[in-house]
A and B are shown apart, each in its own frame.
Chain A
Amino acid sequence: MSDTAERVAKIVVEHLGVEADKVTQDASFIDDLGADSLDIVELVMAFEEEFGVEIPDDAAEKITTVGDATKYIEEHKG
């Protein structure tokens, strides 16, 4: 797992209170990890904070899995 993927997974575990082994790159926030739309808003804010990236609303809407988040961050971080 890349450093980014690890840090993303750690944030997801912490915010959603789920078991670490469930947080695979394929896991869907809503379908697999029990998040609701507000949880995703909160996660996106936490990613922005952790990685110093800005994730605009239209991009955030397309982030539905852990892998989507990792990919976006790797492509956009400074």
Chain B
Amino acid sequence: MRRVVVTGLGLVTPLGGDVETTWANLIAGESGAGPITRFDASNQKCTIACEVKPKDHPWGFDPDKRVDHKVQRQVDPFIVYGIDAAGQALEDAGLTDMSEAEKERTGCSIGSGIGGLPGIEYESVNLHERGPGRVSPHFVHGRLINLITGQVQIKYGFMGPNHAVVTACSTGAHSIGDAARMIAMDDADVMLAGGAESTINPLGIAGFAQARALNMSMNDRPKEASRPYDRNRDGFVMGEGAGIVVLEEYERAKARGARIYAEVTGYGLSGDAYHVTAPHPEGKGAELAMRMALRKAGLGPGDIDYINAHGTSTMADTIELAAVKRVLGDDLGGASMSSTKSAIGHLLGGAGAVEAIFCILAIRDQIVPPTLNLIDPDEGTEGVDLVPLKAKKRQVRAVLNNSFGFGGTNASLVMQKVD
């Protein structure tokens, strides 16, 4: 099997419109949460979210940098975030000027959990109020989940695999894992892989609130609401944004002198076969995914230095932790484990990819990001380093990234420093 490495990164998050702003804020312990500004949320049970900031904000995102004005008008925000993050990753990898032959061997695996919900909501109301003749001709292809991949391949002329994963909150991790396999199996030499989401709209917030998934008790303290592993946690905070990596076949990357951030060495997938929203109470599916990823990487307990947990700030946090303990030992084999959802919220289909990038940056800078608001750790967390409140300098050679989603879908990635 061919080896697969990461050579480019792109991020749009509530902490920044690019990789370095996001990472600096994350390490500094900043929170991206605040009252919802995107719409009037005063009649919602949840009135807070981690929004991507407007371009005049110091951490803001400027859509005009990489996305055509016309495209911006036609598509949902998740596609705009995705196109921009893909462009960042390509620029970072130094791959904006490829030959036709290289482009035929370059593909995309960029997904989303939900897709264009704000646009679906808008056009549905439009249809009812003004009739079918007023529905936008760009409605369908501006909302479809595979249209980040579609838009990016059209923009850059890539003719390799045109793929998009839809596995709820595991989408980002599955996207990277699937793309790595496509390179390993010789379907492509370069893949842009990741996920994006933007569902901070009335229907998105109401839907997750009705499913009892969102934090609804700390509307007056938005920055404290996402608190994984804390005894007072009671639901996630919705985030939005995109994370996209450039994956490249190792020999090719080495030959062109590319900066190699990390190697994707393990990928595990499983299903819970239990419940549509609740995880298996013993975390059996999570355990299977982690064990598979570690087996593929040829690593065992003691080899993993950092785990970016799924850790959504729900009751499921401790189920995941118990599963990690069964796989790596009660002290996690010396690994540090944190949930960066405490700072950026839950990016749903974008989460796994954004968090994979945090893992990669932890390898680059030998520092692990904190779990914010972890003040009163829940039972079962004793003897485990959950990196409370402050980032921590430590050796980071191998990382494990977990993502789990509605429908009982689980994905784990293992990535390692390349010496």
Contact partners of B254 in chain A: CB under 8 A: none
Whether a CB of chain A sits under 8 angstroms from the CB of B2 is: no
Q: Within the complex, which residue of B68, B70, B73, B137 is in contact with A41, where a contact is CB–CB below 8 Å?
A: B137
Interface string of B65-82 (1 = CB under 8 A from A): 000111001000000000
Contact partners of B73 in chain A: CB under 8 A: 15, 17
Taking chain B's interface residues, is the majority helix, strand, or loop, or is none over half, making it mixed?
Answer: helix
Whether a CB of chain B sits under 8 angstroms from the CB of A68 is: no
Interface size class of B (residues with CB under 8 A): under 10
Within 8 A of B (CB), among A40-78: 41-42, 45
Contact partners of A42 in chain B: CB under 8 A: 136-138
Structural contact, B68 and A38, CB atoms closer than 8 A:
no
Shortest beta-carbon distance from B374 to chain A in Å: 46
Distance, CA A42 to CA B140, complexed state (A): 13
Structural contact, A39 and B134, CB atoms closer than 8 A:
no
Distance, CA A47 to CA B137, complexed state (A): 14
Within 8 A of B (CB), among A1-50: 15-17, 34, 38-39, 41-42, 45
Structural contact, B69 and A38, CB atoms closer than 8 A:
no
Distance, CA A16 to CA B71, complexed state (A): 9
Distance, CA A34 to CA B69, complexed state (A): 13
Contact partners of B133 in chain A: CB under 8 A: 45
Nearest A-chain residue to B134, judged by Cβ? A45
Distance, CA A41 to CA B136, complexed state (A): 9
Distance, CA A50 to CA B138, complexed state (A): 19
Structural contact, A15 and B137, CB atoms closer than 8 A:
no
Structural contact, B138 and A15, CB atoms closer than 8 A:
no
Structural contact, A17 and B134, CB atoms closer than 8 A:
no
- Can you list 19 A-B contacts (CB < 8 A)? A15-B70, A15-B73, A16-B70, A17-B68, A17-B69, A17-B70, A17-B73, A34-B70, A38-B137, A38-B138, A39-B70, A41-B137, A42-B136, A42-B137, A42-B138, A45-B133, A45-B134, A45-B136, A45-B137
